[in-house]
Amino acid sequence: MGIFLLIRLGAFLLIPCAYWSMDLLNYSQAGKSALLGGLAVLAVSSWSASRATTRGGVGSGWAIGVVTPFVFILAVEAFLRDFFGVSHDDGIVIEALFNSNGGEAAEFVIANSRGMMKHSAFFALALLLFASAAWASGRYHPLTSGRSLGAGGRSKRRNWPLLTFGGLFLLVHLNPTMRKADPFLYFPIRYAKWEYEIEKTRQLQEQLRSTLSDPHLQSMQYAGEGARTVVFMLGESTTRLNWSLYGYPRETTPRLQGMADDLLVFQDVLTGFPGTDGSIKQIFTPATLQKPNLWAKQPDILTMASRAGYKTFWLSNHSTDRQGAVSIISSHADVTTLTNKGGSRGEGSYDEVLLPEFQRALDDPAPRKFIILHMLGAHPAYHFRYPEPFAIFDDAEDDITRQLLEQGRAPWAVMLRNQDDNAMVYMDYLLSKMIDMARSHAARTPTAWLFAPDHGEDVAHYTNFSGHNSRVRSMYEIPLIFWSSPGFSDGTFDREAVRARPYQLDVLDNTLLGLLAVRGDYYEASSDLFSPEFRPGARTYNNMPYP
């Protein structure tokens, strides 16, 4: 009995140990799986060892079946840590797991196929290792070796290992963090918690909106004169490192460069969070890097703008805006239009579907309008983000491809860069078109237009990796551009000084309130990019000081 169990336990424990020694898992991830999985292996093996009917192949099959989910969770955690530098409980993973849909999931698989293949191979190898050991241990099976067969009276004694190991397995579940590591409870526990928190927040926000219970919200008033339109274009997965407007050698933003004299191109802006949900919570609410939970407790700027007499619009091509935290914020607009009806891969999901919605909002007779456009931008997979005529860098042989190849990038990494740059050109086309639309509208109403993406992207900038990578600077370094009609502001600020201001998007709500001329307790002039009282704050990326 002893050797039989030891071989199986040893074979299983090798798997978390191997992940840990390659630094694909930390000791806590590896340790919890080792303890839980180890006890499960001992329990199922001692059970099969005690019965003649489950000897040999059947018993091994049971052991492999029980071990598979544990190895699967190890593989998932290792993939996330290896490719994205995140732990399985990071907000960004929870968001991706539960605030996604079929289309986005399929795109994730396409965009990350290489990483998934690597870790699927590890998964298969680990299972093969355990399966071989499970078969090999059959030689020492107590019923095969004939050592523990005896009179019927002994059967009770044969049950004690199962009771001991099974009991211990259940006992460690009393610890909540161990419970969360159980592969069978892994997703249900996290989903229930996520759903509970979203629902709780939704109720709290409803209460804030519909009552006069918050005196700070009461203080938010329109301090401007007459009519005004403020447009905020929220992009997606765009680093300024890939914009020729910021010096990238490829012509990715020719149209914006053509109108550069009219634009304020901010030189030194970071996002606060490397994922859509987390970034949106910081941008649209008083939440900051230091106080990320305020998004749930305090009103968002759509609610503030409404109170101050604005008609608010949330026009989105993001198919996931109908779920999770973003759905709470977007539902606070007077008009919420989600143009992306299907998964995000469909033909109709190019961001140009926002153009007619934008025109309709501009034509709305309300005197004060706050229009938010949420683009799919360059969200992976990149080649779904632009129509064919914009695929101008496919098969490019220029300084960028040469430089990437010299840096040792794989051909597929270069291909992804080319596709991402195509998406930049399409974005340039749409942004310039939207500025033109805002310009015509400004003949009637003073208008301001601001663009920033939710975060940057890593497109083979440092390694072959392309995608969301919270460890690198390109994930945080973003473009921020501004256009306004001559009648919009008194124009007293020094444009040169303002465009050099170091800024981070976690406090962008103050800049937006500033443009809306909504003042009160939730407005901090020191965090408003355009205010004479602006003071730069400390900035961080990946929990490290920036720069």
Q: Which residues contribute to the site for Zn ion (CB under 5 A)?
A: 236, 276, 454
Minimum distance from CB of 527 to Zn ion (Å)?
Answer: 22
Of 183 and 456, the one with the shorter C-beta distance to Zn ion is 456
Strand, helix or coil for residue 235: strand
Instruction: State which residue, 275 or 299, has the beta carbon closest to Zn ion.
Output: 275
Nearer to Zn ion, 329 or 404 (CB): 329
Question: Within a 10 A sphere around the Cβ of 37, how many other Cβ atoms?
Answer: 27
How far apart are the C-alpha atoms of 196 and 506, rounded to whole Å? 25
CB of residue 375 to Zn ion, shortest distance in Å: 10
In eight-state DSSP terms, residue 146 is: T
Nearest distance in Å: CB 298, Zn ion: 23
Q: For Zn ion, which is the closer residue by CB, 454 or 458?
A: 454
Q: Which is nearer to Zn ion, 236 or 477 (CB)?
A: 236
Q: What is the closest distance, in whole angstroms, from the C-beta atom of residue 384 to Zn ion in the complex?
A: 15
Closer residue to Zn ion in complex, CB, 181/328: 328
Measured from the CB atom, the residue of 16 and 103 that comes closer to Zn ion is 103
Q: Which is nearer to Zn ion, 142 or 453 (CB)?
A: 453
Q: How far is the CB of 408 from Zn ion (least distance, A)?
A: 28
Q: Residue 381 burial (CB < 10 Å; 0-12/13-18/19+)? A: buried
Please tell me the distance from the alpha carbon of residue 114 to that of residue 83, in angstroms, as a whole number.
10
Beta carbon nearer to Zn ion, 181 or 283: 283
Closest CA to 313 of 338, 341, 334: 334
Would you call 529 helix, strand, or coil by DSSP?
coil
Q: Which helix (H) or strand (E) holds 464?
A: none
CB-nearer residue toward Zn ion: 296 or 376: 376
The CB density around residue 353, as the number of other CB atoms within 10 Å, is: 18
Q: How far is CA 505 from CA 96, 206, 381, 482, 542, in A?
A: 21, 25, 24, 14, 14
**b/e for 448-485, b at 16 or more Cβ within 10 A?**
bbbbbbbbbbbbbbeebbbbbbbebbbbbbbbbbbbbb
d(CA 320, CA 20): 35
Is 299 or 380 the residue whose CB approaches Zn ion more closely? 380
- Is residue 455 a contact partner of residue 95, using CB atoms and an 8 Å limit? no
In the complex, what is the shortest distance from the CB of residue 91 to Zn ion, in angstroms, rounded to a whole number?
Answer: 13
Which residue type, as a one-letter code, is found at position 522? Y
Angle value at C-alpha 274, between 268 and 280, nearest 5 degrees: 90
Torsion of CA 437, 440, 445, 451, to 10 degrees: 30
Considering the complex, what minimum distance in angstroms separates the CB of residue 317 from Zn ion? 13
Min dist. Cβ of residue 276 to Zn ion (A): 3
Tokens at 348, concatenated:
């109709």
Pairwise CA distance, residues 464 & 335, whole Å: 42
Q: Which is nearer to Zn ion, 24 or 478 (CB)?
A: 478
DSSP state of 538: P
Q: Smallest gap, in angstroms, from Cβ of residue 455 to Zn ion?
A: 5
Report the alpha-carbon distance of residue 276 to residue 78 in Å, rounded: 23
| Residue 219 structure tokens | 């203080």
Q: Smallest gap, in angstroms, from Cβ of residue 32 to Zn ion? A: 30
Q: Which residue is nearest to Zn ion (CB)?
A: 276
Instruction: State in angstroms the smallest separation of the CB of 272 from Zn ion.
Output: 12
Closest separation between CB of residue 240 and Zn ion, Å? 15
Half-sphere exposure of residue 418, counting CA atoms within 13 Å on the CB side? 21
Positive/negative CA dihedral, 35, 82, 187, 47: negative
Amino acid at 113: S
